[in-house]
Amino acid sequence: MTRHFNFCSGPAMLPTAVLERAQHEMLDYQSKGLSVMEMSHRSSDFMAIAERAEADLRELLAVPDNYSVLFMQGGATMQFAGVPLNLLGKGGTGNYLDTGIWSQKAIREAEHLGGAHVAASASDNRYTAAPSPSELSLSANAAYLHYCENETIGGLQMDYTPEVEVPLVCDMSSSILSKPIDISRYGVIYAGAQKNIGPAGIVIVIVRNDLLEQACPEAPTLLKWKAFADNGSMLNTPATYAWYLSGLVFDWLKAQGGVEAMAQVNARKASKLYGAIDASSFYSNPIAPANRSQMNVPFVLADESLNSVFLEKAEVAGLLNLKGHRSVGGMRASIYNAMPEAGVDHLIDFMRDFEQRHG
């Protein structure tokens, strides 16, 4: 068996130890004689798995008691609609920070569902730096301010948490669990699972309980946060296996020393990789240093005609999925929690060697 270093932006690499445990428990979960996949979501065995996963996530992120943690489906994209549908029932307009493609998708969805006001945009600098706090201009009737903490495609990460009078709503799909966060500064945080949480199929929503009372009446039941909060996220059949695997990831994270320990390793991995890019004129990254993503590192080759040979050789070297998003081109190395530091070292060695041969 060979496991390569997988730099995919999502679904992303999972810790080998987690997959091994899932493999070990696959046919016969803890001598119960069946797989987790085959369990009723209402069974006491699955309820215990679900409750443990939630408790571990709460512990990892120090989620205060006045917040609900929801395990929903439909991905982060469904929450682009979920945010306005759950927060605009008492009127007002969704306010948005535009820092890239994922912000824009959230904005477009809100435009269909009550309107969106762009409070600041990074379009002026072609999405290479986050708007500064002083550029934020909320509308008079703002119901919330939404932003994307880490733009997975552009590789732009926020270097501050906006301070506003209205609830702060954050898409943390590609940065949750990579570092400590102060949940109490947020009204709502949501994140698709398939990067730092577990396999695809789950989106986690962390919502302050007082915000559960302002959903639009026409919101579909399966998008209503309150309905999920009131029913332990078991309004209908949840994504049971993805929930279980997410729980195994949380367990693994706790064994690694939690998000504080991950933050240190993540900072080291990112700084090595950006250091290697900056030290060469063969590779480049356009993002302002303060906003460079610690999770998704896009880079281009000075000679784009070498892109396909770079990708081919990388794959042979056991470095998978380095192709950049079609809208950006070039390469992108996604280095979430499960990417070992050795994977980043291996990538840097490969990049140096490739430059020597082709530079």
* Binding-site residue set for L-glutamate: 9, 42
102 is catalytic: yes
Region class of 291: left (phi > 0), else alpha (psi between -120 and 50), else beta: alpha
Count of residues that interact with ligand PMP, criterion CB under 6 A: 11
Cα distance between residue 258 and residue 255, in whole Å: 7
CA-wise closest residue to 214 among 24, 57, 87, 341: 87
Q: Which of residues 135-154 bind ligand PMP (CB under 6 A)?
A: 148, 152
- Cite the annotated binding site for pyridoxal 5'-phosphate by residue number: 76-77, 102, 152, 171, 194, 236-237
Contact pattern for ligand PMP over residues 7 through 46, marking x by CB under 6 A: ---x------------------------------------
With a CB cutoff of 8 Å and minimum separation 6, the contacts of 115 are 93, 94
Contact pattern for ligand PMP over residues 164 through 193, marking x by CB under 6 A: -------x-xx-----------------x-
- Cite the annotated binding site by residue number: 9, 42, 76-77, 102, 152, 171, 194, 236-237
Q: Is 307 in the site for ligand PMP (CB under 6 A)?
A: no
Q: Amino acid identity of 257?
A: G
Catalytic annotation, pick one of 56, 171, 224, 269: 171
DSSP state of 68: E
- For ligand PMP, give the closer residue by CB, 75 or 199: 75
Catalytic annotation, pick one of 195, 224, 226, 323: 195
- For ligand PMP, give the closer residue by CB, 77 or 256: 77
Tell the smallest beta-carbon distance from residue 148 to ligand PMP (Å).
5
Tell the smallest beta-carbon distance from residue 266 to ligand PMP (Å).
16
3-class DSSP state of 337: coil
Q: Which of residues 58-97 bind ligand PMP (CB under 6 A)?
A: 75-77
Cα distance between residue 293 and residue 324, in whole Å: 14
Tell the smallest beta-carbon distance from residue 76 to ligand PMP (Å).
3
Region class of 166: left (phi > 0), else alpha (psi between -120 and 50), else beta: beta
With a CB cutoff of 8 Å and minimum separation 6, the contacts of 107 are 96, 98, 116, 118
Tell the smallest beta-carbon distance from residue 177 to ligand PMP (Å).
14
Q: Alpha-carbon torsion 219, 165, 189, 272, what sign?
A: positive
Cα distance between residue 113 and residue 94, in whole Å: 9
Q: Which of residues 100-119 bind ligand PMP (CB under 6 A)?
A: 102
Tell the smallest beta-carbon distance from residue 357 to ligand PMP (Å).
33
Tell the smallest beta-carbon distance from residue 172 to ligand PMP (Å).
8
Cα distance between residue 30 and residue 359, in whole Å: 55
Q: Which of residues 213-272 bind ligand PMP (CB under 6 A)?
A: none
- For ligand PMP, give the closer residue by CB, 15 or 75: 75
User: Residue with CB nearest ligand PMP?
Assistant: 75
251 is catalytic: no
Catalytic annotation, pick one of 56, 98, 102, 252: 102
195 is catalytic: yes
Cα distance between residue 150 and residue 295, in whole Å: 8
β strands within 114-187, DSSP E: 116-121, 142-148, 150-151, 156-157, 168-171
- Name the token pair of 253: 């994270």
Gyration radius (Cα) of the chain, Å: 21
Tell the smallest beta-carbon distance from residue 191 to ligand PMP (Å).
8
- For ligand PMP, give the closer residue by CB, 171 or 355: 171
Asked, as a colleague might, if the bond just before 11 is cis with ω within 30 of 0, I would say yes
Residue with token string 């979920």? 82
Catalytic residues: 102, 171, 195
* Residues in touch with ligand PMP (CB under 6 A): 10, 75-77, 102, 148, 152, 171, 173-174, 192
